[in-house]
Structure 1
């Protein structure tokens, strides 16, 4: 049986039989205007976490963690500058130890590099996660700005978490779909979430 590592989000761990498969690379897809960062913050709780930011500096990310209304961990935050981002990120993830978490937020900057080098990066990342029984979370921004190689990220990822945010009847509705799960069974239905103060199941009645 594939070892599971808890995500720190109770609703996800219950649906995933204890958590994400150890050694996984996870593509977490969310719209830029969503509350998707709440999931990233809570994912930093269960284990030592390296948080690589490709668009905000360390101080900005640390401020976001301090202001967060959800429980958060104390990740090691590093900024990945725009020059040679693949090399910087590669050096960083090689320091990941056993059963730790890596977050790349967002992955878009790395996706905009040379496709062949990016594919090599993903293969090396996957190998390191498997060798250390760790988990990598790649935050993929959805929408018009999505990169041309997003399909490559989705294909090479072991797990795809797809946060879908809709405005319905004047209310914001968030559903998390898991269409891909190597080492397990993908969920047949999306989970309705409440993302106000932390990640919870939304138990409100659906309006037809």
Structure 2
């Protein structure tokens, strides 16, 4: 079995038989108003991380990571801006060292570029992540408008995490599904999570 890389979220790593196979691309889908960033922040505690921000500034992301209530590392944060985000992201990714994490947050900006160029970016990313034994997480926003090339991202990704957040009565409920898992078995059940001081299983019981 391929080496497994921990996500930093203990309950999820147990469900995934130790983590995600090295060399994988993960697509994390979540609503913009959710606490999905906690997944990204906990990942930074597992190994060296390059955090590419497509929206927020480097200072804003770094401050958010430092102020997080969950476990974090000290990621290298870079803001990808300009008129050629695919080219700028490619240059940064090419320098990713072995056994590292790459976070692209959000990937939506890249999904709005020309389809052939975006597919080429994903193919080059896949090769580099595989050759370095690293782990890439592409954070996609499932908001009112979904980026036009989201299906391409999901198809090219090795693993898909789908986080749904909804208000149920007086509680906010977060449900994680793993419908796709190349190199392993997709988790068959929905995982109910508590997103607060870290990411943990929600042990509360539904009241009929």
Q: What TM-score do you get using the length of structure 1 for normalisation?
A: 0.98
Separation of aligned partners in 1, 2:82 and 2:122: 18
Structure 1 position 26 matched with structure 2 position 23: no
2:159 maps to: 159
Give CA-to-partner distance per residue, 1:49-107, whole Å, 9 cap, x none.
00000001111111111211111110000000041000111011111111100000000
- Farther-moved stretch of structure 1 (60-69 vs 113-122): 60-69
Equivalent residue of 1:195, what SS?
Answer: strand
What is the alpha-carbon distance in structure 2 between the residues aligned to residue 128 and residue 111 of structure 1?
A: 19
Structure 2 counterparts to residues 36-51 of structure 1, below 5 A: 36-51=36-51
* 1:1-208 matches, cutoff 5 A: 1-208=1-208
Aligned-pair CA distance for 1:166: 1.2
Distance 1:129 1:42 in 2: 20
Q: Does the 8 Å contact 1:82/1:109 carry over to 2?
A: no
Across the aligned residues of Structure 1 and Structure 2, the Cα RMSD in angstroms comes to: 0.8
1:3-55 CA-to-partner distances (Å, cap 9, x unmatched) read: 11111110111000000111001100010000100111001111100000000
Partners of 2:116 and 2:61 lie apart in 1 by: 30
Detail structure 1 runs of 4+ shifted over 4 Å in the superposition: none
Unaligned stretches of 5+ in structure 1? none
* Alignment TM-score, normalising by the size of structure 2: 0.98
Q: Give CA-to-partner distance per residue, 1:156-207, whole Å, 9 cap, x none.
A: 1000001111111221000110000000000111111000111001111123
Q: Does the 8 Å CA contact 1:50/1:102 hold for their aligned counterparts?
A: yes
* Distance in 1 of aligned mates of 2:20 and 2:28: 13
1:148 aligned counterpart, secondary structure: coil
Deviation at 1:120, TM superposition (A): 0.3
* The 10-residue stretch of structure 1 (32-41 or 163-172) with the greater mean CA deviation from structure 2: 163-172
Counterparts of 2:182 and 2:66, CA distance in 1: 34
Q: CA deviation at 1:146?
A: 1.0
* Contact preservation (8 Å) 1:54, 1:82: no
1:109 offset after TM fit, Å? Answer: 0.5
The DSSP-based 3-state class of the residue aligned with 2:174 is: strand
